[in-house]
Chains A and B, each alone.
Chain A
């Protein structure tokens, strides 16, 4: 079945440093989504990427979808303590059941 690998598993940064997490799928994706889960909370939808090579920005967050639609990245510029949490990518291989396969996530901690 489809597998979605995410690296790194953990990342600790000093406040103000940049952060990137990478996501790779074993199959070509119809679209990819990103979620953020704060400690003790539930996953919250951030964004969906659909087109090959697509780049989207949300303030300090930049999301990219690879040309082959098998990989994606999330980059945070100048991290803040509010960025702490686990970031998940989730791939959709298409079809009518809209079933996502989640990566295991990257836990980001930020030292103030």
Chain B
């Protein structure tokens, strides 16, 4: 039982490049979330999904897109990376009425 797995763990991008972050959970959780964490800013919600095939915007969605084609996977895309997107990205999931299970994070640097 792996829980929530994020790939990659580290990535350096050049400004304007694109990439996709993958989040996979094996707990059959309905709800999945993408957060970014910056120093002094806490955890800010980017996008979330309340079930397979659904997505919704969070607090800071600009510059990101998401897809949830399969229940177990939640993908976060950056179409044209900017230095302001340098951050640590966390994926989380929950069955609904309990705490979130977080992945170990992706550390992204945009130069």
- Interface residues of chain A, those whose CB is within 8 Å of chain B, are 1, 9, 33, 35, 41-48, 88, 90, 96-105
- Interface residues of chain B, those whose CB is within 8 Å of chain A, are 31, 33, 35, 40-45, 48, 50, 56, 58-59, 90, 92, 94, 96-105
Say which residue of A1, A45, A96, A101 sits within 8 Å of B99 (CB atoms). A45
Most A C-beta atoms less than 10 A away, residue of B31, B42, B50, B97: B42
A-chain residues with CB within 8 Å of residue B101 when the two chains form the complex:
45
Write the chain B residue with the least CB distance to A31: B97
Asked whether A88 lies within 8 Å of B43 as measured between CB atoms, the reply is yes
Write the chain B residue with the least CB distance to A46: B99
Instruction: Return the 3 tightest CB-CB contacts between A and B, nearest first.
Output: A45-B99, A104-B42, A102-B43
